[in-house]
């Protein structure tokens, strides 16, 4: 008879012990046989601790599947980044090309005012004075064939030795149109050229809009279009009003700021020469709606030629109004080589303008 195999389970170490028992054990009490069996077994010795040997084989890579929404999100973000970068690059290129276009030099050649007239047009007019104050930054932006056909003359607002001045409208803006006589072509061309001087823009210098020539059949009209100052000249304003000390200072300060910009020479790649007015008077200074002044009527102005170290040749032998002229201008004792003396003559004329402003002042109600 084959021996029985009994598994003995307990709660101690090495409790699972295999024991071979003869069939005779069956006749005895099971409890006594188990007790005797434990007595005959050798004492158990603890097995030495085992240390885990690190496996050299790489851990298996479990296959992963990306959710569909994650793929869609990544694709959308990539498209947004590409579109944003493209828009930025296109915008930078556009502004760079526009800047080059603004600073492009446009030359004026007036061979025959009656045939194919050239029109020079400055940037679009705007009601925001902070963006479009001054006379236009150097050369104008656009070149058209005829701007005269787009301007409607309304009323005559002034006359001078060179011609007449009209209030007009260009698109949705009011402008002033100075119409020169045909015999004053040289003065017209010279004043247009002065207005197109590089870096000429300043809030206290009359803003240049455009120039054109129009064939009226029996004669040719030469147009100079500038911004419109509804209060008229400083002479008109002083004739009709009195001012507080604060307002007098504002009129004087803004007028002298324009004169200072004319006299200042700016150096650099786009340099501005020093300019003298030579015809300063209260009628040639205009007053804007906010009671700030701007200098106009630059037909007799001269620029300083640094290469020749003297003033440029004047378009004519005419001089300004004698009442405002310095004595050395009246007796013609200033040479074109003494450009600083022309500046001082402007200061002399401006001193008389300051006297006119002070005489219309009101202090303590008097």
By annotation, the residues acting in catalysis are 279
DSSP β-bridge partners for residue 286: 233, 294
Give the E-state strand segments of the chain in sequence order: 4-8, 17-21, 119-121, 142-144, 151-159, 163-170, 173-180, 208-215, 220-227, 275-276, 285-287, 293-295, 302-305, 310-311
Rounded to whole angstroms, how far apart are CA atoms 356 and 361?
9
Return the sign of the alpha-carbon dihedral for residues 356, 358, 360, 366. Answer: negative
Asked if residue 168 lies in contact with residue 147, where contact means CB atoms within 8 angstroms, the answer is: no
> How many whole angstroms separate alpha carbon 174 and alpha carbon 153?
10
**In this structure, are residues 166 and 155 in contact, taking their beta carbons and an 8 Å threshold?**
yes
Alpha carbon distance 127, 308 (integer Å) = 41
Instruction: Retrieve residue 39's tokens.
Output: 């007595």
Distances (CA, A) of 181 to 170, 185, 301: 22, 7, 19
Cβ-in-10-Å burial (0-12, 13-18, 19+) of 140 comes to buried
Nearest to 194 by CA among 314, 341, 319: 314
């Amino acid at each position: 008879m084959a021996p029985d195999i009994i598994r003995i389970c307990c709660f101690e170490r090495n409790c699972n012990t295999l024991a071979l028992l003869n069939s005779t054990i069956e006749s005895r009490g099971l409890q006594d046989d188990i007790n005797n069996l434990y007595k005959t077994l050798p004492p158990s010795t603890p097995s030495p601790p085992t240390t885990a040997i690190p496996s050299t084989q790489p851990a298996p890579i479990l296959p992963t599947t990306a959710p569909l929404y994650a793929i869609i999100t990544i694709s959308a973000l990539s498209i947004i980044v590409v579109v944003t970068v493209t828009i930025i690059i296109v915008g930078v290129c556009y502004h760079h090309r526009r800047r080059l276009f603004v600073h492009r030099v446009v030359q004026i050649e007036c061979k025959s005012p009656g045939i194919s007239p050239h029109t020079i047009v400055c940037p679009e007019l705007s009601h925001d004075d902070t963006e479009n104050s001054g006379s236009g930054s150097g050369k104008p932006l656009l070149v058209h064939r005829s701007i005269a056909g787009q301007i409607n003359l309304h009323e005559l607002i002034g006359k001078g030795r060179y011609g007449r001045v009209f209030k007009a409208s260009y698109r949705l803006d009011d402008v002033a149109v100075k119409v020169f006589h045909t015999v004053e072509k040289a003065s017209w061309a010279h004043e247009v050229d002065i207005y197109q001087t590089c870096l000429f823009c300043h809030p206290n210098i009359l803003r240049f809009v455009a120039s054109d020539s129009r064939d009226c059949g029996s004669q040719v009209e030469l147009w100079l279009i500038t911004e419109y100052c509804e209060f008229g000249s400083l002479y008109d304003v002083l004739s009709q009003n009195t001012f507080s000390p604060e307002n007098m200072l504002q009129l004087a300060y803004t007028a002298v700021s324009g004169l200072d910009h004319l006299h200042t020479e700016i150096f650099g790649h786009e340099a501005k020469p020093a300019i003298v007015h030579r015809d300063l008077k209260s009628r040639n200074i205009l007053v804007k709606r906010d009671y700030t002044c701007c200098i106009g009527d630059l037909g007799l102005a001269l620029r300083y030629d640094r290469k020749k170290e003297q003033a440029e040749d004047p378009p004519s032998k005419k001089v300004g109004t004698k009442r405002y002229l310095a004595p050395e201008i009246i007796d013609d004792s200033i040479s074109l080589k003494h450009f600083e003396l022309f500046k001082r003559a402007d200061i002399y004329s401006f001193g008389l303008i300051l006297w006119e402003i002070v005489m219309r002042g009101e202090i303590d109600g008097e």
